[in-house]
Amino acid sequence: MFPLSRRALAVLGAVLAASLAACSPRSAETPAAGASASASVPAETSAPSTPPAAAPAQAKKLSKDQAIGVLLDLPELKAWSDKIEKNSNGQSHGALIEFDATPFQHKGKTYYQFSFVENTPEAVQRWENFLIAPDGGEILIEDQISGELLSLARWRKEKQPLQRIP
């Protein structure tokens, strides 16, 4: 068996769960909201928060729907969706699913978590995982092998996602 990061395992579980309309894949990794009640720190103080002074200076915050729109506007996702539909004669579709409703924290920033999937009549196949920051719209892509988070520019340069289209 080859080693997978906890995040990669969770994503694989989430894609399967999404096809069955199930819950968050990383429940084992991220404690549920009520789980902190058994900890010695009260729930109100255990969650990290943004300093109040930083909030007014930030640009307009993206909602999840707006974040989905930003991702679906990426040329790579448009091309992948078109190719999936064409190759399947309209039987399969490209889609974005939220693989964990709990915001992901990375280097002090919060991100929505989505997977681009190929939704076929038989199964859902994950293509890529995307993180998008509600504050500023920064997009990160999870490297499927190393688990490293890549910037959009680095992902395009190193992974050449448009070459993935047969």
Q: pLDDT tens digit string along 29-81?
A: 333 333 333 233 333 333 444 444 444 444 689 999 999 999 999 999 999 99
Burial group, residue 96, by CB count within 10 angstroms (0-12, 13-18, 19+): middle
Burial of 21 (0-12, 13-18, 19+ CB in 10 A): exposed
Alpha helices, DSSP H, located in the chain: 6-19, 43-46, 64-72, 75-87, 152-159
| Amino acid letter, 155 | W
**Could you tell me if 98 and 26 are in contact, meaning their C-beta atoms sit under 8 angstroms apart?**
no
Which pTM does this prediction carry? 0.65
